[in-house]
Amino acid sequence: MKKYGKIRLTNGKVSYAVWLKDGQIGLLSEPPWVNDNKIIEVIPDTGDIHLLAPCNPSKIICVGLNYRQHAAELDMQLPPEPVIFLKPPSAVIGPGDIIRYPEQSQRVDYEGELAVVIGHECKKIDTKAASRYIFGYTCANDVTARDLQQKDGQWTRAKSFDTFLPLGPYIIKDIDWRDRTIRTTLNGQIKQEAKTDMLIHSVEALVSYVSQVMTLYPGDVILTGTPEGVGPMLRGDEVSVEIEGLGILINKVE
């Protein structure tokens, strides 16, 4: 298991990084999914490193209604195939960044999710081959203006505001996504809790399905759906998404 991320140094420099065993951080010459990337500098992990979103995806593909209980709480039927939609790269923020409440909305919800980071370009791949194209996994919050989603009848505006996709804190490589607890808390109270193997469509099936539609590039992100327990956030709230083995993603709402 390896831990990667993106950091901003005290001198303002931004670098991809890998966390080493001895309390050190290796700064990388390239994004970690690039084959010839190398460690160009080693710095101590002082614990106050400024973490950024761990990748800059060209696109974010989201999957709706991929937990049975979530579909039930929204009173929606399970679709025969995955329901996919896009969030823009401009929605991405990192750990500790602020989720901005848009003036157009009166209800903004959290949706804790497991996110898949693509490691190799792929198109029309088989489910059995999908794991070879996955770089790793991270935590995500698919922030949603629920009232606008219901009003518009489709999801683009409700899902696409700036700051509506916290990602992080790290990308964890060489880890099994199955049977991991995903937990969302709001102001310290648990709101969502489930196991990742409760997904209706597996991670590999989702990667394959999306690749039948569009080419996936290294650094692209697929959100795998949220469990039951979605609910509203208010200005001043603190929301966290924690996935066993992946870390905890914390953001405040303003």
In this structure, the answer to whether residues 38 and 128 fall within a common structural domain is no
Residues 87 and 191 in one domain: yes
Closest by CA position to 59, among listed 154, 158, 141, 165: 165
Task: Identify whether residues 64 and 7 lie together within a single domain.
Answer: no
Of the three residues 35, 52, 69, the one that is the final residue of a domain is 52
CATH code where residue 16 lies: 2.30.30.370
Mark whether 37 and 88 lie in a shared domain.
Answer: no
Q: φ, ψ for residue 5 (rounded to 5)? A: -170, -170
> Between 11 and 137, whose confidence is greater?
137
Regarding whether 131 and 201 lie in a shared domain, the answer is: yes
The pLDDT tens digits for 141-189 are 999 999 999 999 899 999 999 999 999 999 999 999 999 999 999 999 9
Share of the chain above pLDDT 90, in %: 88
SS3 of 104-169: the string is CCCCEEECEEEEEEECCCECCCCHHHHHHHEEEEEEEECCEEHHHHHHHCCCHHHHCCCCCEEEEE
The set of residues, in sequence order, having a beta carbon less than 8 Å from that of 150 and lying 6+ positions away, is none
Average model confidence (pLDDT) across the chain: 96
Residue-range definition of the domain harbouring residue 12: 2-52
Q: Average pLDDT for residues 8-33, to the nearest whole number?
A: 95
Using one digit for the tens of pLDDT, what is the confidence trace for 197-227?
A: 999 999 999 999 999 999 999 999 999 999 9
Give the separation between CA 42 and CA 60, rounded to whole angstroms. Answer: 31
Q: Which residues neighbour 48 within 8 Å (Cβ) at sequence distance 6 or greater?
A: none
Does 75 lie in the same domain as 35?
A: no
Asked if residue 83 and residue 43 are part of one domain, the reply reads no
> Please, which pLDDT band fits residue 77 given cuts at 50, 70 and 90?
confident
Q: What's the total number of domains in the chain?
A: 2
Do residues 64 and 92 share a domain? yes
pLDDT band at 24 (very low <50, low <70, confident <90, very high): very high
Residue 121, beta-bridge partner list: none
Do 22 and 119 fall into the same domain? Answer: no
pLDDT 10s digits, 114-123: 999 999 999 9
Looking at the predicted structure, is the pLDDT value of residue 229 above 90? yes
Residues 46 and 122 in one domain: no
pLDDT in tens, 78-117: 778 999 999 999 999 999 999 999 999 999 999 999 999 9
For position 79, what pLDDT does the model report?
A: 79
Instruction: Check whether residue 107 and residue 150 sit in a common domain.
Output: yes
* Spatial contact of 103 and 174, defined as CB atoms under 8 Å apart: no
Do residue 112 and residue 197 come from a single domain? yes
Are 186 and 110 contacting, i.e. CB atoms less than 8 angstroms apart?
Answer: yes
